[in-house]
């Protein structure tokens, strides 16, 4: 499949962001799925470090 073939297919989107972005796509007839995702500890480095200490691993 070439890159140009992708533009001939129906657009389908997995949205990991703002719900309003999904709403805009849906209003244009685009098939979408909304994923309610948030970064661990709200993305705050200090909280991630604390969680790492508690779990005795830095892989969060």
Instruction: Read off the pLDDT of residues 23-41 as tens digits, 9 standing for 90 and up.
Output: 999 999 999 999 988 888 8
Q: Is the pLDDT of residue 43 over 90?
A: no
What is the C-alpha to C-alpha distance for residues 15 and 28, in angstroms, rounded to an integer? Answer: 15
Domain ranges for the chain, please list them: 3-55
What backbone phi and psi angles, to 5 degrees, belong to 52? Answer: -65, -40
pTM of the model: 0.57
Q: What is the distance between the alpha carbons of residues 49 and 55, in angstroms, rounded to a whole number?
A: 10
Please say whether the beta carbons of 24 and 5 come within 8 A. Answer: no
Q: What is the pLDDT of residue 57?
A: 57
Q: Tell me the three state secondary structure of residue 31.
A: strand
H or E element in which residue 6 lies: helix 3-6
């Amino acid at each position: 499949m070439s890159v140009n073939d992708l533009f001939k297919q129906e657009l389908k989107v997995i949205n990991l962001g703002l719900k309003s972005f999904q709403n805009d796509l849906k209003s244009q007839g685009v098939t979408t799925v909304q994923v309610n995702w948030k970064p661990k500890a709200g993305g705050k480095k200090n909280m991630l470090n604390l969680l790492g200490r508690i779990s005795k691993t830095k892989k969060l």
